[in-house]
Structure 1
Amino acid sequence: MRLKNKPWALPLIEANPQYVVTEPQQYRGKWQERFSQDQPLLIEIGMGKGRFITEMARRDPEHNYIGIEVQSTATGIALKKQLEAQLPNLQLVCGDGGDLTEMFAPGEVAGIFLNFSDPWPKKRHAKRRLTYKTFLKQYQTVIAETGHLEFKTDNRGLFEYSLASMNNYGMVFDQVWLDLHDSEEAVDNVMTEYEEKFSKKGQPIYKVTAHFAK
């Protein structure tokens, strides 16, 4: 979802380089330098306003987290959350997560979160979907052998497409939820802003966790 540009966002990002990276390629293979402790690294591609990644980092101090977002306004909103929380295990990236292999070294990441990604419903745009095979190949490169991919969406068409794409790529499904909020998993589920909005309307939330076959 494209947010209206806020003129304060870029100056705020530029004033806080301790929390936001704008040239992520410089840290390829060296991301642990950005954190106070060397811990397994989990990333969210398309963090939006940062509710999910901030809460995950707050709840789980034994992992390091990176939220990636191309929109400066959304990154600025997420940064405000981090400036208030000042979590030592959270970093933000304002940039395009389209080529993760330029940002992360092979095996550098312990897991990837894809939350409510753009469904790109038209067939001619399938290659832009974050579960398309070329993206899966990137994930496989940067994720460690013991790592995982977690995908949530409210779009059934995108979910069905993603399951087929992952299956065709040879991924192994750990668990699939067709109505996440009506399951035991809902107890510890961390919601995005978008997720809360649509789940309140009764829209089922779909989720899959999977890993790459060794």
Structure 2
Amino acid sequence: MRLRNKPWAEDKLAQYPQYVVAQPELHKGKWHEVFGNNNPLYIEVGTGKGRFITEMAKAHPDINFIGIELAKSVIISALDLLIEAELPNLKLMNVNANDLRDYFGKGDVNRVYLNFSDPWPKTRHAKRRLTYETFLRVYEDILPEKGEIHFKTDNQGLFESSLMSISRYGMLLTYVSLDLHNSDFQGNIMTEYEEKFSQKGNRIYRLEAQYR
């Protein structure tokens, strides 16, 4: 589905510096100063319209969150949610996931969430998947020792390739569900896509993996 361009989005993002981090490279190694505390920091890579990260921030006020999204026409919806909720423990970044090392040092981030990422189903596009080994290396460089990745998708092919990629990388799979909504998992917060796909009867897959 083609995104509708919102030429005004960039200006609106600039109007809310209290929520949108404009120059995140300036805060590398100092994110506790941005939030004014030493709470753990969780990021969502590909935050989309922001439902998941906003609800997580509401549910866990003792944790800091950053939603990362490249598309301005998408992250603007997350900003609207944040403006309404006025959450001090949530920020947004309009940047590319390839560049996370420029913004976070080793151990700056305590957990990475990947929710309903683009599956890039063609084999020649495998390197673009957010669970491909090059991205796993990026996350490892910003997480502490034994840092975690939590991943959800409705795409069976992406889930299977992610399991293989994560296993080949040498990570420890600590949780795997092939049907999340019919499991005993507690505290699940749905994304917009998750609600849409599950209502259509799609199975939701979830995994948690830890660096060794």
- TM-score, structure 2 normalization: 0.96
Identity %: 54
Secondary structure of the residue aligned to 1:188 is: coil
Amino acid at match of 2:82: Q
**Paired residues of 2:41 and 2:63 also in contact (CA < 8 A):** yes
> Partner residue of 1:151?
151
Secondary structure of the residue aligned to 2:145 is: strand
**Paired residues of 1:57 and 1:90 also in contact (CA < 8 A):** yes
* Structure 1 residue 66: Cα displacement: 0.3
User: Distance in 1 between the 2:149 and 2:164 partners?
Assistant: 15
Secondary structure of the residue aligned to 2:62 is: coil
**Paired residues of 1:171 and 1:211 also in contact (CA < 8 A):** yes
**Paired residues of 2:131 and 2:162 also in contact (CA < 8 A):** yes
**Paired residues of 2:148 and 2:211 also in contact (CA < 8 A):** yes
Secondary structure of the residue aligned to 1:107 is: coil
Amino acid at match of 2:191: T
Alpha-carbon RMSD = 1.2
**Paired residues of 1:48 and 1:75 also in contact (CA < 8 A):** yes
Amino acid at match of 1:210: A
Which consecutive residues of structure 2, in runs of 5 or more, have no partner in the other structure? Answer: none
**Paired residues of 1:44 and 1:68 also in contact (CA < 8 A):** yes
Which sits farther off after the overlay, 24-33 or 58-67? 24-33
Which consecutive residues of structure 1, in runs of 5 or more, have no partner in the other structure? Answer: none
- TM-score, structure 1 normalization: 0.95
- Say if 1:127 and 1:118 are closer, same or farther in 2 by CA, change over 3 A: same
Amino acid at match of 1:93: M
**Paired residues of 1:116 and 1:152 also in contact (CA < 8 A):** yes
User: Distance in 1 between the 2:208 and 2:51 partners?
Assistant: 20
Secondary structure of the residue aligned to 1:145 is: coil
User: Distance in 2 between the 1:78 and 1:57 partners?
Assistant: 12
User: Distance in 1 between the 2:164 and 2:34 partners?
Assistant: 36
The one-character-per-residue Cα deviations of 1:95-152 (angstroms, maximum 9, x if unpaired) are: 1111211110011110000001111111111111111111111111111114210010
**Paired residues of 1:36 and 1:88 also in contact (CA < 8 A):** no
Amino acid at match of 2:47: M
User: Distance in 2 between the 1:183 and 1:2 partners?
Assistant: 34
Which sits farther off after the overlay, 114-123 or 95-104? 95-104
User: Distance in 2 between the 1:85 and 1:161 partners?
Assistant: 36
Paired residue total: 212
**Paired residues of 1:22 and 1:95 also in contact (CA < 8 A):** no
1:113 correspondence with 2:127: no
* Structure 1 residue 23: Cα displacement: 2.7
> Partner residue of 1:31?
31
Secondary structure of the residue aligned to 1:112 is: strand
> Partner residue of 2:141?
141
**Paired residues of 2:152 and 2:205 also in contact (CA < 8 A):** yes
User: Distance in 1 between the 2:80 and 2:65 partners?
Assistant: 16
Runs of 4+ with deviation above 2 angstroms: none
Secondary structure of the residue aligned to 2:98 is: coil
> Partner residue of 1:7?
7
Q: Which has the higher strand share?
A: 1
Secondary structure of the residue aligned to 1:209 is: strand
